[in-house]
Amino acid sequence: MALIVQKFGGDALGDKGKGKARSGDEPLFGAQFLHDKFAYMAQLVKKSTDRGDKVVVVVSAMGDATNRLLAMAASLTPKAPARELDMLMATGEQQSIALMAIALHSIGVPAMSLTGAQVGIITENVFGKARIREIDTNRIEKALAEGYVPVVAGFQGATADQEFTTLGRGGSDITAVALAAAIKADVCEFYKDVDGIFTTDPRVCASATKIDRISYDEMLELASLGAGVLQSRSVEFASNYKVPLHVRSFLHDNVGTYVVPEEKEMEDVVVSGVAFNRGEAKISLKSVPDQPGIAAEVFGRIGAKGIVVDMIIQNLAVDGRNDISFTVSRSDYEAAMEIARKLATDLGAGSVIGDDTIAKVSAVGVGMRSHSNVASRMFKALAENGINIQMISTSEIKVSCVIAEKDLDRAVQAIHKAFEGDRRAVVNN
Residue 429 has pLDDT above 60, yes or no: no
Are 283 and 188 within one domain?
A: no
Position 379 scores a pLDDT of: 96
Which residues are CB-contacts of 266 (< 8 A; sequence separation ≥ 6)?
Answer: 213, 214, 215, 218, 272, 366, 367
Are 295 and 172 within one domain?
A: no
Which residues are CB-contacts of 11 (< 8 A; sequence separation ≥ 6)?
Answer: 17, 63, 192, 193
Q: Which residues of 282-292 are buried (b: 16+ CB within 10 A; e: fewer)?
A: bbbbbbbeeee
**pLDDT tens, residue by residue, 87-104:** 999 999 999 999 999 999
* Residue that wins the pLDDT comparison between 179 and 35: 179
Residue 427 has pLDDT above 50, yes or no: no
Asked if residue 353 belongs to a domain, the reply is yes
* Residue that wins the pLDDT comparison between 349 and 33: 349
Position 137 scores a pLDDT of: 95
404: containing domain: 274-428
Q: Work out the average pLDDT over 112-125.
A: 95
Q: How far is Cα of residue 261 from the mean position of the Cα atoms in its chain?
A: 19
Indicate the range of 18-32, 39-53, 76-90, 116-130 predicted with least confidence. Answer: 18-32
**pLDDT tens, residue by residue, 250-300:** 888 899 999 999 888 887 888 999 999 999 999 999 999 999 999 999 999
**pLDDT tens, residue by residue, 311-346:** 999 988 788 899 999 999 999 999 999 999 999 999
Between CA 174 and CA 188 the distance in angstroms is 11
Contact 164, 86 (CB under 8 A): yes
Burial of 372 (0-12, 13-18, 19+ CB in 10 A): exposed
* Residue that wins the pLDDT comparison between 363 and 193: 363
Asked if residue 164 belongs to a domain, the reply is yes
Asked if residue 245 belongs to a domain, the reply is no
Position 425 scores a pLDDT of: 45
Q: Work out the average pLDDT over 69-88.
A: 93
Are 30 and 168 within one domain?
A: yes
Are 25 and 164 within one domain?
A: yes
Residue that finishes a domain, picked among 175, 193, 211: 193
Handedness of CA 145, 148, 154, 156 (dihedral sign): negative
Percent of the chain with pLDDT over 70: 93
Give the chain's radius of gyration (CA, Å). Answer: 24
Which residues are CB-contacts of 301 (< 8 A; sequence separation ≥ 6)?
Answer: 339, 342, 343
| Domain at 136, CATH number | 3.40.1160.10
Contact 34, 47 (CB under 8 A): no
**pLDDT tens, residue by residue, 172-216:** 999 999 999 999 999 999 998 889 999 999 999 999 999 999 999
Position 80 scores a pLDDT of: 93
Nearest to 40, CA basis, from 99, 95, 92 = 99
Contact 218, 199 (CB under 8 A): no
Residue 426: pLDDT band (50, 70, 90) is: very low
Asked if residue 115 belongs to a domain, the reply is yes
Q: What stretches of 30-170 show up as alpha helix (H) in DSSP?
A: 31-50, 65-76, 82-106, 116-119, 138-145
Identify each DSSP E strand in 220-364 by its residue range: 245-249, 257-260, 273-289, 309-314, 321-329, 352-364
Residue 233 has pLDDT above 60, yes or no: yes
Opening angle at CA 339, ends 338 and 341, nearest 5: 65
Residue that finishes a domain, picked among 146, 161, 193: 193
DSSP secondary structure of 365-404: -GGGGT-S-HHHHHHHHHHHTT----EEEEETTEEEEEEE
Are 290 and 186 within one domain?
A: no
Are 142 and 288 within one domain?
A: no
Between CA 297 and CA 315 the distance in angstroms is 17
Position 400 scores a pLDDT of: 95
Contact 184, 107 (CB under 8 A): no
Are 289 and 178 within one domain?
A: no
What pTM, to 2 d.p., does this model score? Answer: 0.86
- Please tell me the total count of domains within the chain: 2
- Strands of 54-59's sheet, edge to edge? 111-114, 149-153, 54-59, 3-8, 187-192, 245-249, 257-260, 213-215
| Domain at 415, CATH number | 3.30.2130.10
Residue 31: pLDDT band (50, 70, 90) is: low
Are 167 and 288 within one domain?
A: no
Average pLDDT along the chain: 90
Position 297 scores a pLDDT of: 94
Residue that finishes a domain, picked among 193, 222, 257: 193
Q: Work out the average pLDDT over 39-58.
A: 95
Say if strands 391-395 and 309-314 run parallel, antiparallel, or are unpaired: unpaired
Residue 22 has pLDDT above 60, yes or no: no
**pLDDT tens, residue by residue, 2-16:** 999 999 987 777 655
Are 280 and 411 within one domain?
A: yes
